[in-house]
Amino acid sequence: MIGNHHYSTWGLKDSGEDITNDIIDIATNATSFIVAAGYNFSFRHAGMMFFNELTHKANNGIPVILIVPPHLAGQYNPQPKLINYCIANNIGVILNKSNHSKWLLTENDLYYGSSNFTPTSWRDRVEVVTIHRHRKIFMNWKRATILDFRLFIQREIADINNKRRNMHLYPGLIPLTVNTWNNIKPLIRRLNPSIEKVKETLENYETVELSLYFVIEQWFIQANQEGIEIIYSMSYEILEIINNICEYAYANIYNESIKNDEIQNKEVIDNYNNLHDKFIEVIDQQILTVEKLGNMKQRRSGLYEKNVGLINV
């Protein structure tokens, strides 16, 4: 990387080049606010040091917000664990199903780049990294940079408040979930000799993923903690089998290097359709399970109410 560690540093972080202390120092130096956006966080080793610093700041009156997607990529970070940990420790959480950005902003410093908030990314992986210590550089640059990120944060908070005002428009969490999951089924297509349905399945993946995340967001807004954890677990199982279908399809049926319009290999057809059968079985079972949740009291989540209070601060 190039630059000056007193002001700004940027460029490629090579494998073995460690930015752990730089990231933790940004949180440590904050005195007014901390906002972190990411796609993967770790509660292990240096990742726990980072969360300990966020918790310390939050418990001492410094507002802290995390902006994350409804599903985290990390093996050790199921989403309910992150949500519960953060809100229990006075850290606000904003779920954004489109978020794939990684950055850390305080009134003094800014990190943005490709690195996740994990020790592996900070230490072992090659990443693109930019660290600006804007408390020490030109004021007009500082204002413009913070404003760019702050406007995004303000839009996220406005969106949360808008969702709260419009919650009564939804016909209820359970019908909403059942309808959304039923609408996913025709987007994951079965394979006949033509590969067009498989191509459609791969093209529909992002729509399906965002639909599953939408359901999680709505339960986070409206349901209690038990309901959130149940829906997250079921959504994860649905997404896992869809991932298996798409990975098999891309490896064996259709990708940029495959030109055939039909698949003649019966084993490939059977393997794909067996995965598709499993998908239908899983999603139908989850829909039945959701419908049985009708007897569960859907009181407003105290967890969410606390979270909204933290975000408003």
pLDDT tens digits, residue range 264-298? 788 999 999 999 999 999 999 999 999 888 765 55
- pLDDT for res 240: 92
Alpha-carbon 228 to chain mean position? 15
Mean pLDDT of the chain: 86
Distance (Å, whole) CA 239 – CA 80: 16
Residue 124's pLDDT band (cuts 50, 70, 90) = very high
Highest mean pLDDT (candidates 165-174, 253-262, 278-287): 278-287
> Mean of the pLDDT values across residues 151-176?
79
pLDDT tens digits, residue range 54-90? 999 999 999 999 999 887 655 555 677 888 889 999 9
> What whole-number percentage of the chain has pLDDT above 70?
88
- pLDDT for res 206: 92
Pick 119 or 226 by higher pLDDT.
119
pLDDT tens digits, residue range 138-158? 666 667 777 888 899 989 888
> Mean of the pLDDT values across residues 186-200?
88
56: helix, strand or coil? helix
Q: What is the residue whose two structure tokens read 């939804």?
A: 170
Pick 138 or 189 by higher pLDDT.
189
Q: Is the pLDDT of residue 188 over 70?
A: yes
Q: Is the pLDDT of residue 234 over 60?
A: yes
Q: Name the phi and psi angles at 288, rounded to 5.
A: -60, -40
List, by residue range, all CATH 3.30.870.10 domains of the chain: 2-164
Q: What is the CATH T-level fold of the domain 2-164, as seen in this structure?
A: Endonuclease; Chain A (3.30.870)
Beta bridge partners of 68: 95
- pLDDT for res 300: 59
Which DSSP category does 122 fall into? I
Alpha-carbon 232 to chain mean position? 12
Q: Are 70 and 138 in contact (CB under 8 A)?
A: no
Q: Is the pLDDT of residue 179 over 80?
A: yes
Look at 164-173, 232-241, 284-293 and tell me which has the smallest mean pLDDT: 164-173
- pLDDT for res 77: 56
Helices (H), the chain: 20-29, 46-58, 79-88, 119, 139-165, 173-184, 196-203, 205-222, 225-252, 266-292, 302-312
- pLDDT for res 170: 60
pTM over 0.85: no
Taking residue 93's Cβ as centre, other Cβ atoms within 10 Å add up to: 22
Q: Are 1 and 9 in contact (CB under 8 A)?
A: yes
Residue 168's pLDDT band (cuts 50, 70, 90) = low
Pick 197 or 302 by higher pLDDT.
197
